[in-house]
Amino acid sequence: MTNPARRLHLNAFVMANGHHEAAWRHPDVRPTDALTLAHYVDIARTAERGRLDSIFFADNLALPRNVRFNGHSAFEPITLLSAIAAVTEHIGLIATASTTYNEPYLLARAFASLDHLSRGRAGWNIVTSAGQDEARNVNLAERPDHADRYARAAEFLDVATALWDSWADDAVVADQAAGIWADVDAIRSIDHEGEHFQVRGPLNIRRPVQGHPLLVQAGSSEAGKEFAARTAEAVFTAQQTLEDAQAFYRDLKGRLGGYGRSPEDLLVLPGISPVIGRTEQEARDREAELNSLINPQYGLAQLSAMLDTDLTDVPLDEPLPDVAPGTEGNQSRFDLVVGLARREDLTVRRLLERLAGGRGHRVVAGTPEQIADEIERWFTDGAADGFNVMPPTLPGSLDDFVDLVVPVLQRRGLFRTEYDGATLREHYGLARPTVRDRHPEKENAA
């Protein structure tokens, strides 16, 4: 049995009609529902019914090149999650936002606003934007290079955290009789003068309910892992095998000490796309049905983006040609995809099928018990603190996960049956950051 003190965490990664690339073509799916708020509210409520920790939206600052063949998440995540905040009670709300193409003052404020609107349920998936098209939408001819992106990200987080901490928690006094709204000694400018940013502060919104929103990260390059070890509290990752996942888990946890942090301060959440059937055969049939709807032209465009190389014309029934790992794109996804093709000696067509379910994330088809077994094994064997659950179709597969798999995990004592905290940090068992450094007299007074 698992250590009862250690708790499994489950995040629902929400993507339009689902994570299988042909999800929108499945007969159970009404594709244009993904263009409505109601669809996402329904999903959020399902996640809440399943007592999941959080929902999460990816993001990208350019229209995907292959929109001809596939829908994409139509909404901007912070606005969408703000709307969802108003009609949910418990579920954590994690939005992706780029440090490469945003301003720290504006973004720190938007997350603080979401955190207050949701009474402490905001999370930020910090990305450095590996795509090629985003830069050209925001006045740049080229994306900054990989090292620069991470250097900017580090400084961005320094500024953002300083801004959140620019107000002590109790700065608002609202003393009607004395006419004093705020204790201005508890609100400090930050006077940041760095290489990428000059920001005076203070922030124009008081400290977030959670101190800082939950900080999530999803890069797996060397620079990405160092950034995560320094900054992140949860890490999303794509892992195909238990061994790779264990190695990644050990690697990342091992880096924390270098930043004065403990292994429990950062949770590792690999992706899992569960294809659920009442029987194993039903699950396999469902997977085959989805794969039968794949469009290889779309798959090749996706593969090209993942490998940062134009592969739109490669022959489908031959092995993946030699491709050189770039230094600028998503390095870990490159290694994962090429590794999978070589290890299993796949043709391009078979590789596209293997990627269709989760763009490189692990797909597990089986009964609820079998899926729970996989989750338990990775959780107990040092590969995961929880999972980034990627339903193949939406809303259907999330309903199935919540109605069929979650109860198994609950019966095994692995997963909560009720929320016992109010904030996203409390769901994840993470401490609320103090403002010791910036407001020393406040800490003494406490």
Ligand X SMILES: Cc1cc2nc3c(=O)[nH]c(=O)nc-3n(C[C@H](O)[C@H](O)[C@H](O)COP(=O)(O)O)c2cc1C
Q: Which residues bind ligand X (CB under 6 A)?
A: 58-60, 96, 127-130, 218-221, 223-224, 236-238, 271, 330-332, 388
How far apart are the C-alpha atoms of 208 and 109, rounded to whole Å?
A: 9
Indicate which of ligand X, a copy of itself, none lies near residue 198 (CB less than 5 to 8 Å, by partner kind): a copy of itself
Instruction: Determine contact, residues 425/214, Cβ cutoff 8 Å.
Output: yes
Among 7, 8, 10, 24, which residue sits at the site for a copy of itself (rule: CB under 8 A)? 24
Determine what percent of the chain falls in helix, strand and coil, rounding each to the nearest 5: 40, 15, 45
- Please name the amino acid found at residue 2: T
- Give the binding range for a copy of itself (CB under 8 A) out of 45-53, 180-188, 220-228, 350-358: 180-188
How far apart are the C-alpha atoms of 373 and 298, rounded to whole Å?
A: 33
* Region of residue 359 (left: phi > 0; alpha: psi -120 to 50; beta: else): left
Indicate which of ligand X, a copy of itself, none lies near residue 162 (CB less than 5 to 8 Å, by partner kind): none
Residues between 29 and 88 that touch a copy of itself (CB under 8 A): 29, 31-32, 35, 37, 41, 60-64, 67-72, 74-76, 78-80, 82-87
**Nearest approach, Cβ of 60 to ligand X (angstroms)?**
5
How far apart are the C-alpha atoms of 180 and 186, rounded to whole Å?
A: 13
Based on CB atoms, which residue is closest to a copy of itself, 79 or 327?
A: 79
Angle (nearest 5°) at CA 210 between 417 and 4: 35
Based on CB atoms, which residue is closest to ligand X, 276 or 305?
A: 305
**Nearest approach, Cβ of 269 to ligand X (angstroms)?**
8
In sequence order, what are the residues at sequence separation of 6 or more whose Cβ sits closer than 8 angstroms to the Cβ of residue 358? 19, 20, 238, 271, 273, 390
Residues between 220 and 259 that touch a copy of itself (CB under 8 A): none
- Give the binding range for a copy of itself (CB under 8 A) out of 95-103, 215-223, 260-268, 337-345: 95-103
**Nearest approach, Cβ of 408 to ligand X (angstroms)?**
24
Q: Is 289 in the site for a copy of itself (CB under 8 A)?
A: no
Cα separations (Å) of 285 from 28, 141, 276, 309? Answer: 14, 46, 10, 33
Based on CB atoms, which residue is closest to a copy of itself, 4 or 179?
A: 179
Indicate which of a copy of itself, ligand X, none lies near residue 70 (CB less than 5 to 8 Å, by partner kind): a copy of itself
The enclosing H or E element of 13 equals strand 9-13
Structure tokens at 243: 């061994």
